[in-house]
A and B are shown apart, each in its own frame.
Chain A
């Protein structure tokens, strides 16, 4: 029997019982639909997150205490077998001496309560070295940026200035910061310009406030004041990894048994990428389970179909159909059912992804990969589901089958 004739014959059986065909495809339609939706949501999350990092300088090197390590393809992790390094001015000076380093900006931050005209709110305060903060320096909108000699002066983000209190906070206003049982009064000297929020990290740079390290040290009231992080910018962004390696070498001698790391933002982003990719595939995997269930449904329907057509199979065999003819017919019937259902599932899934994206505000992105995966797995699942019924049909004894009613 020619392939084209088999296909024609199958088409007839589909159209003959449309309701049964539809009911049996439903499982696969839902399975493929969920694969497409899950993958689209995963993809949307993925590209949404990376979209937020667009335009950010990824070639900054972060020097932090502790060990940040990443295996070849695995997730990043912090190991705490070694004492974390205490970063100090000694390190900052050493960093400035490393070839290729443009600036080294030490930072220490803490959550504080901030009070203005008798009203309180919370914000993140950062102790900085103003002369090293090249990027922040350029973003002052009102007033001026901090200088190294400032003490009771504070620069605030646009959000703190405009949204945190009922009345706008402007340069010249007083702010009181509380930390534990201490408090310090500051004078606002500048307000930063609006900056994009990184929503997935729940980081809004507009809600930050900045003071000098001298003030920060007194506010925190700690005996040993260390830097939580030193942000290093480089002369040539393409050489960031090389410079990071030099930094590791240079700082080693100050921190013999202490752990510290020098990682570029880009490599941290790559770790994030691997986590997000994992999430994407887990979502796809969950959807695959529903596809398996759909496949079992198809298998059941095919078994019923074979049973229903037992006499017809007997007739086909009597007039000369070989096992292969019959086997191919039922296998192809399953495959075509799968392919049609998958296409419907893809169309519905794409539609639903777009609607969810719009209504729930979740990122979703229908890619050709998710369409291809849906089509491939949908068709594959039904074809596999068809193998057993098809071989049952092929093995029928024509005499027995003809006798069936």
Chain B
């Protein structure tokens, strides 16, 4: 557990944590109310992820890995504990402040792609930049460049509905990179893809990692963890294994 944060440390950095850690979780707990009772999903997660790591998060369903990803992805807030994202405590930010963090610092890739079918591929990729109010010609140029990088320059005016799964996921990757985030959050990015597309997507992810981006990926597939620098296994709301 070399990278996970140790106990203690009132403020700032603690012993096991280095200045280059982009994600630091301290005693993160999360419980949900189910009817009359509370169900604890995360039971004290301590975790530090350094810049440039390619982390696979594994675990059976119900182990809390989705909840953990939601917290790391700033979509959800922990019930208790502290979360430092790029050195900033985000555990107590408001919903809109979290939205601003997501659009600037994080890129999301989903299993079901989650593109907006009503607008073109280009507009999908532009969307995070639109939210950041980037000038029109600038964001268009960047979107075109990103699409070219994922080999979809010929599909810019298509509706995502008319693309194959692999193509859709590549659009989603281009979108995730729109605001040049340091961290990519990927939730089973190859879960809905055939083997060939899956390889293509993992090749791109690898490339992104080599560029220096930190990738945190949930996966069920042990085969694709070979790309990863670190595999973290969750069971019953706790980290049970954390190995390179």
Contact = CB atoms under 8 A, between A and B. Distances in A.
B95 interface: yes
Interface in B115-144: 115-119, 123, 127-128, 130-133
Interface stretch (A67-75, A173-181, A201-209, A319-327): A319-327
Contacts of A314: 114
Contacts of A323: 95-96, 99
A321 B119 contact: no
Nearest to B114: A315
A293 interface: no
Nearest to A311: B114
A162 to B, nearest CB: 74
Interface string A60-92: 000000000000000000000000000000000
Most buried by B among A13, A316, A322: A322
A320 B133 contact: no
A360 interface: no
A319 B109 CA distance: 10
Contacts of B123: 12
A402 B108 CA distance: 12
A132 B70 CA distance: 98
Contacts of B114: 311, 314-315, 318, 402
Nearest to A5: B130
B118 A321 contact: no
Given A398-B75, A399-B75, A402-B114, A318 B131 contact: no
A2 interface: yes
A322 B133 contact: no
Interface in A295-336: 311-312, 314-325
Interface residues of A, number: 24
Of the candidates A16, A316, A318, A402, the one having the most CB atoms from chain B within 10 angstroms of its own CB is: A318
A319 B75 contact: no
Interface in A1-47: 1-2, 5, 9, 12-13, 16
A236 B76 CA distance: 85
Q: Residue among B104, B114, B123 with the most chain A CB within 10 A?
A: B114
Contacts of A325: 131
Contacts of B170: none
Nearest to A324: B96
A318 B42 CA distance: 21
16 contacts: A1-B130, A5-B130, A5-B133, A311-B114, A312-B118, A314-B114, A315-B114, A316-B116, A318-B73, A319-B102, A320-B99, A320-B102, A320-B128, A323-B96, A323-B99, A399-B76
A37 to B, nearest CB: 36
A32 to B, nearest CB: 28
A178 B115 CA distance: 92
A2 B133 contact: yes
Given A13-B118, A325-B131, A318 B96 contact: no
A2 B100 CA distance: 15
Contacts of B116: 312, 315-316
A16 B118 contact: yes
Contacts of A320: 99-100, 102-104, 128, 131-132, 179
Contacts of B104: 320
Given A2-B130, A402-B110, A319 B118 contact: no
A16 to B, nearest CB: 5
B133 A1 contact: yes
B133 to A, nearest CB: 5
A9 B119 contact: yes
Interface string A388-405: 000000000011001000
A263 to B, nearest CB: 67
A325 B96 CA distance: 10
Contacts of B102: 318-320
B82 interface: no
Contact of B99 (A5, A312, A315, A322): A322
B96 A322 contact: yes
A323 B95 CA distance: 8
A319 B100 contact: no
Contacts of A16: 118
A319 B96 contact: no
Given A314-B114, A319-B102, A320-B99, 19 more contacts: A5-B130, A12-B118, A12-B119, A312-B117, A312-B118, A316-B127, A316-B131, A317-B99, A318-B114, A319-B127, A319-B128, A320-B128, A321-B131, A322-B96, A322-B99, A322-B100, A323-B95, A402-B110, A402-B114
B213 interface: no
Nearest to B104: A320
Nearest to A6: B130
Interface centre among B73, B102, B175 (most CB of A within 10 A): B102
